[in-house]
Amino acid sequence: MPKREPFHGRIGRTWRESEPWRPPHAAAPEGAPNVLFIVLDDVGYSDLGCYGSEIETPRMDALAHGGLRYSNFHVTAMCSPTRASLLTGRNAHAVGMGSIAEWSTGFPGYQGRITPHAATVAQMLSQAGYGTYAVGKWHLANMADYVTGGSREHWPLGKGFNRWYGFLGGFIDHWNPDLHEDNHPVQRAPRQRYHLTEDLVDHAIEFVRDHVTSTSARPWLTYLALGAGHWPLHVPQEWIARVRGRYDAGWDLVREQRLQRQKAMGLVPEDTLLAPANPNVRAWASLAPQERALCARLQETYAAFLSHADAQIGRLVDYLDEAGQLENTAIVLLSDNGASGEGGPTGAVNIRRHMTMGPETVEYGLARLQQIGSEHSFPHYPMGWAQASNTPLKWFKKNTHGGGIRAPLVVHWPARVQCKGEIRHQYHHVSDVVPTLLEAIGMQPPTVHQGFEQMPLHGTSMLYSFEQADAATRKEIQHFEMVGDRAIWHRGWKAVARHRKGDDFDADRWELYHLDKDFAEIHDLAESQPGKVAELVALWWQEAERHGVLPLDDREVERSLAWSRRDVQRHFRLQPGMARLDRQLVPPINDRSWHLSAPLHDVGPQAQGILLACGSRFAGYQLHCAGGKVVFTYAVHESLAHRLEAKLPRGSAVVEVAFVRSGDRTGQFELRVDGVPCAAATVERTWNVFGMSGGLTCGFGNVPVTDECLPPAPLAGLRLQHVLVEVAADSSGDTDDFAAALREQ
């Protein structure tokens, strides 16, 4: 027999002779604070004004001047693991998030979802009477959980949040985003002057407003995870105009100036030196004038992007102040990892094309200089600016040297933090945030949650540092790993190994730094102290085994592709008006033959609208009707699209598009109406599905693919029954048979 919830009243024959009983409501401890997490994306250690930057971030700086800054705070080298650690108070591999969610492998440390044995802070605080709200980037669900009809156990509402508005994956188009609300995709209506950061802050204000106006006695937790400053760098042009010319002097000078400010602030020791330039970061003076012009504009766009985000954070803080919520709100502001070197030596107007189809030329970028930052760009800065962002540190995001894992941390809590504007130098890690909050609130983490025995918290509370500026660091040890890069910190010493993909892990060279005396990891002591290296490496292996880091794996997007080939369906029957398919779960047409057919009925002279749209103008395809024609567009990137059209007969018709692969990422499209070939085009370079920034819709559009027919473009003057999409099993498997079958249809 299933257990029934106990009833502690008395039940008689009627209500008059009975005593009611209601389970007690969860109540937060007296004086428990509100909690606001603000997570920036790919923002380097020195990018905020309060960390030495020339970028204008007055509202975040004001939080630092009214609270505390931490100079020695560390995260993981990529976003999903940092977020998992932040929300659980445990190490990322131990909770199943050893890399970004898309790169799951099925091993315990790489599930791409948080284990139920590690309750999130939202789950913990909701049991104590908190209202819990998430806004923005999630990136903590396995791709198998993305399907519209799938489980929501690992989405925000399944992890303890009452509401969520945001996006699932690792990056987002800020002009034309694919969004979710609670547990369902949002069909976005186009708006003038829309920007995602503004939209996210609007929703954060809305969630807090609705909470305090309905349950003012209960505290709240809001997790605001912005897309800024992860590529694409999208920001209104007027913000870029404000900083025009600021970066003409180049990244070498900016690094020097930032370090001098950091020393003046007391963030870094006076004897700190700049780490040597990372490989492929050229001296600014060696760049040709046209290269400098492009690189400067890309950094102007990043600076404007971050300043724009700062202004939106300011709107939220102003609202909290006006609503009487600011005084007892613990604001924790951080970045998820170091700045990204993915832009290469000179950056890109379209970073996804740059990364998956081949490097852009400087000439290409200069010809599109005025588009950078707009919805017609998908830009990213050069790696020279990434190193400037990480001043004074070496390496980038994905690396376990300082440039990948040392991050800004600001704590603002007027009711509790009295030493305002001060800097704390104790060594701490993102897993330490939840233990700090629980200690401050006066709560213990649960030992069992929803029937699952809970692993202990791995973090060390930082609460002691709030009032004790000179207190010794209480943390003892912290390990790191990201796609083969490894590091361990123990009592002031750090051993770190940079791994090159494909190499033998045992052949990696471990470096040794005494971080207490070498902030920027410049003086490698490995040769002079081999015993210390051996001690720390042995300690790393112990921690790795203990926390689920093994097996080591240096694959990156290959993990996603392997999952796609194995688990994503290849036969789709799509219906008009259906919920948007996430970009990770669209038909897997990567370098394969494929075919779509759309039976149309009641076709009139004014037939129009989008039959099927997938991706965006940066990589996507669309089938639409307009002007008595059916048009198929395959957008290779923002400046190259193949367009096929055919006359559309009245009444009924079957429209087909077939792609027959002819070689490595090449092939031919054919558009047919009622079985008759009408147009064809040869594509010399197809794109990868994982390069797309938009999902799939049927019967309407969500993200622009071609300006010829913009979303939402609902169907009118015809009736669409369905769209069938079939994809060959593999580019090297049954492709020839599949192509032959298509030719016979």
Q: What are phi and psi of 496, to 5 degrees?
A: -145, 140
Strand ranges (E), 280-439: 329-335, 409-412, 422-424, 428-429
Looking at residue 224, its amino acid is L
Question: Taking a C-beta distance cutoff of 8 angstroms, is the pair 92, 85 a contact?
Answer: yes
Q: Which two tokens stand for residue 65?
A: 């001047």
Give CA–CA dist 463/456, Å, rounded: 18
Q: 374-389: buried (b, 16+ CB within 10 Å) or exposed (e) per residue?
A: bbbbbbbbbbbbbbbb
What string of H, E and C letters represents the secondary structure of 133-161?
A: EEEEECCCCCHHHCCCCCCCCCCHHHHCC
Strand, coil or helix: what is 354?
Answer: helix
**What DSSP string describes 191-208?**
-TT--HHHHHHHHHHHHH
Give CA–CA dist 11/499, Å, rounded: 69
Write 148-154 long-range contacts (CB < 8 A, 24+).
Answer: 148/184, 148/185, 148/578, 148/579, 148/580, 148/581, 152/183, 154/113, 154/114
User: Cα–Cα distances in Å, from 459 out to 61, 428, 432?
Assistant: 27, 9, 4
Q: Which two tokens stand for residue 314?
A: 């300011």
Strand, coil or helix: what is 432?
Answer: helix
Give CA–CA dist 262/258, Å, rounded: 6
Q: List helix spans (H) across 266-338.
A: 289-322
Residues 6 or more apart whose CB falls under 8 angstroms from that of 11 comprise 18
Give CA–CA dist 627/703, Å, rounded: 21
Residues 6 or more apart whose CB falls under 8 angstroms from that of 591 comprise 661, 664, 665, 686, 688, 731
User: Cα–Cα distances in Å, from 43 out to 657, 689, 700?
Assistant: 43, 27, 36
Q: List helix spans (H) across 547-663.
A: 557-567
Looking at residue 353, its amino acid is R
On the question of a cis peptide bond just before residue 392, with omega within 30 degrees of 0, the verdict is yes
Give CA–CA dist 97/241, Å, rounded: 40
Strand, coil or helix: what is 365?
Answer: helix
Question: Taking a C-beta distance cutoff of 8 angstroms, is the pair 604, 647 a contact?
Answer: no
**What DSSP string describes 469-534?**
TTPPP---EEEEEETTEEEEEETTEEEEE---TTS-GGGPPEEEEETTT-TT-----TTT-HHHHH
Catalytic positions, please? 79, 139
Question: Taking a C-beta distance cutoff of 8 angstroms, is the pair 44, 391 a contact?
Answer: yes
